[in-house]
Amino acid sequence: MKSILVTGGAGFIGTNFVYFMASKGYSLRVLDKLTYAGGKDNLEPLMAAGKVDFVVGDICDAGIVKKSLSGIDAVVHFAAESHNTRSETDPGLFYNTNVDGTRVMLEESFTAGVKKFIHISTDEVYGSIVDGYFAENDKKLGDSQATSAYSKSKSQADDLAIEFGRSYPVIVLRPTNNFGPWQYPEKALPRWITNILSGSKIPLWGEGLQVRDWLFAPITSQCIEFLLQKGEAGNAYNVAANHNPEITNRKAAEWICELLGVSSDEWIEFIPDPRPNHDFRYALNVDKISQLGFKPAVDPFNQFRDTVEWYKSNTAWWKKRKEEAESIYKQ
Ligand code: NAD
Ligand code: TDX
């Protein structure tokens, strides 16, 4: 399992994963369409060192996918349209990339004889849960538990991957909200950090009482490598940090203020919730992956600190993305 094709490797989690796997000596090829969310600049140092082969292309294009699969042992499939807010205005793009693109990736991978395929799904396929935790078998066939075009399209893609997993070596991973370096500043944590760094307040939606289970992206990378080695084909696995106490959006915003040395009373502003059917709480049962031997290092405040430090040290990276990211909230 040495030669890996990473779809969406120029996006947020993909970039973290490519750096992690390059440090372990894997042979890596990235297939990425370079949408607004993809940055070839992320991977420039690895490409210059000859550690990554980069193919610009669309996962919906069977011809380019077929070529990209030449000499590949395993596929890690991140490529997707990933933002709930954008899916409110352009749902068709989400179904096209996330469902049809996943179908093309699965079909071409097994025609090419790939030995393992890790499909990156999401906690959002289960929907929101007030109390308790969703286990892997709680996902029903179809997209009725999901609430946005993003999560519905990811739910349909997850079903396809599970279906292929009855005949081929597919593993489905359902991670909770990731955060860390290289996250596009449309998403909550990088938006809030870069707002403060540019003199704007944190816009907290509603009362900020929603709960997200923040998982540090470098930990997700470790988890995927673990599954490439030890994951059982045909299975879905949850991965989460399971914070105790849980972290409300308000707490996350207060931590960011604290880490940036500003007063949360002055720098957080509560605004009417703009998101239709805003999921209140995501929470996953991780017994299955724990029993297999994967236990994430959970240290959220320090992982938030590392993330804040990364944005402070990489101003040029986020400044060129900030205006486009903010434009989606002005419509
Ligand atoms: P991202 O939006 O940062 O990156 C997506 C990448 O996919 C970009 O590089 C983009 O250019 C590429 N891409 C988009 N459409 C493509 C296409 N048609 N062909 C080829 N490449 C294409 O996303 P992310 O946050 O890194 O998420 C990666 C995966 O993890 C997604 O499948 C997402 O659903 C899942 N996920 C994300 C989170 C999270 O909190 N970010 C949590 C759970 C699961
Ligand atoms: O400015 C904001 N203010 C705010 O209160 C933004 C951008 C968000 N929020 C809230 C909404 C959510 O409760 O913060 C929470 C996190 O929002 P997002 O970053 O948009 O993420 P979310 O919708 O939870 O989805 C994320 O996790 C699951 C990823 O974007 C998905 O790709 C992943 O599947």
Q: Count other C-beta atoms under 10 Å from residue 300's C-beta.
A: 18
Q: Which ligand is nearest to the CA of 187?
A: 2
| Alpha-carbon span 157 to 143, nearest angstrom | 10
Instruction: For residue 174, list its beta bridge partners.
Output: 238
| Alpha-carbon span 54 to 47, nearest angstrom | 8
What integer best gives the mean pLDDT of the chain?
Answer: 98
**How far is the centre of ligand 2, averaged over its atoms, from the C-alpha of 212 (Å)?**
8
Does residue 147's CB lie within 6 angstroms of at least one atom of ligand 2? no
CB 196 within 8 A of CB 261: no
**How far is the centre of ligand 2, averaged over its atoms, from the C-alpha of 296 (Å)?**
22
Q: Which of 5, 12, 279 to mutate to test the pocket of ligand 1 (most atoms within 8 A of CB)?
A: 12
pLDDT tens digit string along 255-270? 999 999 999 999 999 9
Q: Which ligand is nearest to the CA of 179?
A: 1
Strand 170-175, strand 52-56: pairing: unpaired
Q: How far is CA 218 from CA 52, 171, 256, 298, 329, in A?
A: 18, 19, 19, 12, 28
Concatenated DSSP letters of 174-240: EE--EESTT--TTSHHHHHHHHHHTT--EEEETTS--B---EEHHHHHHHHHHHHHHPPTT-EEEE-
Does residue 93's CB lie within 6 angstroms of at least one atom of ligand 1? no
Q: Which ligand is nearest to the CA of 85?
A: 2
Average pLDDT estimate for 300-325: 98
Average pLDDT estimate for 56-61: 99
Does residue 191's CB lie within 6 angstroms of at least one atom of ligand 2? yes
Which residue, judged by its Cα, is nearest atom 28 of ligand 2?
177
pLDDT tens digit string along 82-136? 999 999 999 999 999 999 999 999 999 999 999 999 999 999 999 999 999 999 9
pLDDT tens digit string along 176-195? 999 999 999 999 999 999 99
Does residue 7's CB lie within 6 angstroms of at least one atom of ligand 2? no
**Sequence-separated (6 or more) residues with CB below 8 Å from residue 325:** 184, 185, 186, 191
Q: Closest ligand 2 atom to the C-alpha of 279?
A: 13
Instruction: DSSP letter for 25, please.
Output: T
Which residue, judged by its Cα, is nearest atom 15 of ligand 1?
80
- Residue 1 above 90 pLDDT? no
Show the domains of the chain with their CATH numbers.
3-176+213-243+281-298 (3.40.50.720), 185-211+247-279+304-331 (3.90.25.10)
Confidence of residue 331 (pLDDT cuts 50, 70, 90): low
Within the chain, what is the greatest distance between any pair of CA atoms?
57
Q: Which of 5, 6, 30, 35 to mutate to test the pocket of ligand 1 (most atoms within 8 A of CB)?
A: 35
Does residue 169's CB lie within 6 angstroms of at least one atom of ligand 1? no
Does residue 212's CB lie within 6 angstroms of at least one atom of ligand 2? yes
pLDDT for position 23:
98
Does residue 80's CB lie within 6 angstroms of at least one atom of ligand 1? yes
Does residue 296's CB lie within 6 angstroms of at least one atom of ligand 1? no
Which residue, judged by its Cα, is nearest atom 7 of ligand 2?
188
Q: Closest ligand 1 atom to the C-alpha of 34?
A: 11
Average pLDDT estimate for 201-208: 98
- Residue 274 above 80 pLDDT? yes
- Residue 172 above 80 pLDDT? yes
Give the CA count within 13 Å in the CB-facing half-sphere of 243. 20
Q: Which ligand is nearest to the CA of 272?
A: 2
CB 264 within 8 A of CB 257: yes
pTM: 0.99
Active site residues: 123-124, 150
Q: Closest ligand 1 atom to the C-alpha of 14?
A: 26
